Structure 1
């Protein structure tokens, strides 16, 4: 018996050395990054607030013939944040709870936050603006909090920048088309489409999460003897692999030894950092083009000699420019991914469970689903986060990587929206700053708690189940509020089957 126990201890120690922990111990480093998260997110909030206030003052003293439909009067008429009314206390608690849950799951939760923000008495456009600001604060906090976190199965960062580089332009193409269709689609069709999308996504997420959980459960139920044999086999396989690598380097590929070693080292070094220059350039290009096109179309900025009018030839040119730009960026992303994948195969890179094999089939499937998912999410008024997470899980991405990468994508998209709302003067600054600071604190605490629970349970599939149940919760909230709004419109005699003229919106 003592012999078996000692063998288990040795085997466990061996595996611990070979593979990182599911969630690295936080300790002093974790506290340091938590403090950095709070500090940096607070500074960003203050900068955004001061920028928006300066922009608001400039707008007020500017030409009064400017289109005032973009500006909200809520800042002038809505009560200050403090003191809170009883209903606002409830709204604040619900807002924090839903944001922490959706942030930890990696889905953002904009569709569920807007109804809660309406309890403060805001109009819908202001509630949408605030929801984007809140989600952005949560997203950047999670990114900073997990900045130094390691991949559960290899020495790499938690954000999968390959997925980001491919999905971002694809989702933007679909979202742009879906947003245009949303304007002219009757509200009753949008509601039924929303229900269909949410139910489908909930079903697929729960099905995938259950399969992952059953797989983890089967592994846990293995006998001690089977576990010991498996660990010995893993050790033997590592030894054989080491011998094969040694033979490959010293005999068969002696001439290419420096090439293989150098490139393998570069690949692993790149995976341990967040700064991938080509991919960062593509991501920033997407964000910059999106902001420029959106600001021109909303008449927030003007281009000399380019008098913009909606539905004009110039509008068509601008929309075509955006879509073509995203297609070009998508093609560039595909080329980078394929080149990286081919190089990894040449240097005998060791892929781990959850790594996507970037073959043509996988690239086409993920791009197509991202475009369709982005279009559906914008058509029915959902945030992309509900699509990102389940899509990655379907492709076998590790649940932890899914959560962090999805929130990174959401952080980028909500930053663009928040920036636009700030320039439009729609954002109530006191609410944005105070709620943002609350979210920063509770997101840090919430993620620390979730990480601790998952680490204690020892099953990464728990995160997948968590994601599925949070999506189901958001589905219930969104469908309930959508049905209530539909009933309200019908009771007021509005024609819910009528289409809105696109050019008048």
Structure 2
């Protein structure tokens, strides 16, 4: 852990020195040289604002906020995009669309780092991988479809509508997650008390008693070996391959769609072609779960057979999560993480599973943004490295805390806190833009998708 932290600070220091040298050579004395404008957008007349990468208070504060957002976001499985976007707009000075693109880069880096960390871990109480691939395969294709729908709706909906919807959904989700965290905390307290009473009432040593609710402390070497494994042994290749197939197919369709006229026959045909790819894979998994041919053992009460109503709820929430992700510009983990916990899945598994799904969705967006030149690569690369390192360190810290205090509810509280902070930050930015539009008497109704 010490070596990881030391390496991280050295890498960040080198990058900051590089930024400073680059700025010294290229910076002019004019105040307007702080910005250069790139007119690269699907909407005519829109100017992207890309600040020059330079060493100053903006990049220092932005880096610190990025570290905070990535470490907390990776723990809860939500990515941290709700913290990254306001930071990129208010602190560093990007326009909203460029900030969203760079935020996706940071979320992707943090998600990949978190997935790499979780691939080495096993389930806290069962001898299976930490990531539930069956759960990802059931929900993720539908989430990707929902994101495509949400992106279309984001063009039509007015900014104030999106802001109000974002605040309401995030606050409700945060409160529900907090209540679930309190409930889990109480259950953990009861289990710990019963465990202590059992130790006191028996003459056996603590080595003969197994504490099954959460992973045991780091000092317990036999249990630690159970909860760790090799990366290759923890990957279920067939299911992972199906996820990659959906990722590649949807990415190719999205790239092709970007080179067609909006609302043309070819545009809608490419959009509709996503349905058989995404829904087909999710239905294949759902039928297997319903018939008992496939299992999600992380949800032990429905491990061998999922009832129809639970499958409908899961797929509906996945579609809704995707729509909200595309509409609000945030990761689907903001909805799926709390939903998995509501299903009774262990917080560690819920976070790890939601993060794997978020890796696929965020990386699709990054690939599209890169091909369309929607973000400055040096800035995005630097902030992505920051998010990647911070996410890994955040996972290390929370894993150690959960093992020491024997409370997985800490993950739920971090999730609730991250969503609440995101609601305040994104809501504040949205409200400020609403006020500016009202003062300028701008049109605030529905927009035309095909203009």
Q: Which TM-score bucket, shorter chain as reference? A: 0.7 to 0.9
Q: For residues 148 and 387 of structure 2, what CA distance do their matches in structure 1 show?
A: 29
Find the aligned partners of 2:325 and 2:199 in 1 and give their Cα distance: 44
1:398-437 mapped onto 2 (5 Å cutoff) = 398-437=346-385
Q: Which residue of 124, 142, 152 corresponds with 1:170?
A: 142
Question: Normalised by the size of structure 2, how large is the TM-score?
Answer: 0.79
* Maintained 8 Å contact 2:40/2:374: no
Structure 1 residue 352 displacement after superposition = 4.8
Say whether 1:139 aligns with 2:95.
Answer: no
1:125 aligns with 2:89: no
**Counterpart residue number, 1:480:** 428
Q: Relative to 1, partners in 2 of residues 1:139 and 1:424: Cα closer, same or farther, differing over 3 Å?
A: same
Quick one: distance in 2 between partners of 1:352 and 1:503?
A: 48
Which secondary structure does the structure 2 equivalent of 1:396 belong to?
A: coil
Classify 1:433/1:272 alpha carbon distance in 2 versus 1 (closer, same or farther; 3 Å).
closer
Q: Does 1:317 pair with 2:269?
A: yes
Cα distance in 2, alignment partners of residues 70 and 385 from structure 1: 27
What do you get for the CA RMSD once the two structures are aligned?
3.4
Q: Over alpha carbons, which structure has the higher Rg?
A: 1
In the superposition, the TM-score normalised over structure 1's length comes to: 0.71
- Matching residue within 291, 302, 306 for 2:251: 291
Aligned with residue 222 of structure 1, among 178, 194, 198: 194
Unpaired stretches in structure 2, ≥5 consecutive residues: 13-38, 211-228
Structure-2 residue corresponding to 1:257: none
CA change 1:223–1:142 in 2 (3 A) is: closer
Q: Encode CA deviations 1:438-475: one digit per residue, 9 max, x unaligned.
A: 22332222221221122111111121122112211211
Matches within 5 A, 1:119-268: 119-222=91-194, 224-226=196-198
Structure 2 partner of 1:279? 239
Cα pair 1:111 1:382 within 8 Å, conserved: yes
Distance apart, 1:316 and its partner CA: 2.1
Distance (whole Å) between structure 2 residues aligned to residue 356 and residue 488 of structure 1: 55
Change (3 A) 1:139 1:223: closer
Partners of 2:304 and 2:327 in 1: CA distance = 29
Give 3-state SS (helix, strand or coil) of 1:83's partner: coil
- Are 1:370 and 2:318 matched, yes or no? yes
Shift of 1:213: 0.9
Contact 2:295 2:303 in 1 (8 A): no
Structure 1 partner of 2:70:
99
**Residue 227 of structure 1, CA deviation:** 5.3
Shift of 1:70: 5.3
Give the deviation of 1:353 after TM superposition: 7.5
Asked if the contact 2:102/2:375 (under 8 Å) is kept, the reply is: yes
Shift of 1:380: 3.1
- 1:17 matched to which residue of 2? none
**Cα distance change on mapping 1:414 and 1:343 into 2, 3 Å:** closer
Q: Which residue of 2 is the match for residue 64 of structure 1?
A: none
Gaps of 5+ in 1: 1-29, 43-66, 239-268, 300-307
2:338 aligned partner: 390
Between the aligned partners of 2:203 and 2:159, the Cα distance in structure 1 is 58
For 2:304 and 2:230, locate their aligned partners in 1 and report how far apart those are by CA, in whole Å: 17
Residue 350 of structure 1, CA deviation: 11
* CA spacing shift, 1:111–1:146, aligned 2, 3 Å: same
Aligned partners of 2:163, 2:250: CA distance in 1, in Å? Answer: 27
What's the counterpart of residue 500 of structure 1? 447
- Residue 135 of structure 1 and its aligned partner are, at CA, apart by 1.1
Say whether 1:326 aligns with 2:286. Answer: no
Q: Distance in 1 between matches of 2:115 and 2:268?
A: 37
Question: Does the CA-based 8 Å contact 1:70-1:425 persist in structure 2?
Answer: no
Q: 1:78 aligns with which of 51, 67, 91?
A: 51
Contact kept? 1:74, 1:428, Cα under 8 Å: no
Pair 397,229 (structure 1): closer, same or farther in 2 beyond 3 Å: farther
CA distance in structure 2 between the aligned counterparts of 1:149 and 1:354, rounded to whole angstroms? 23
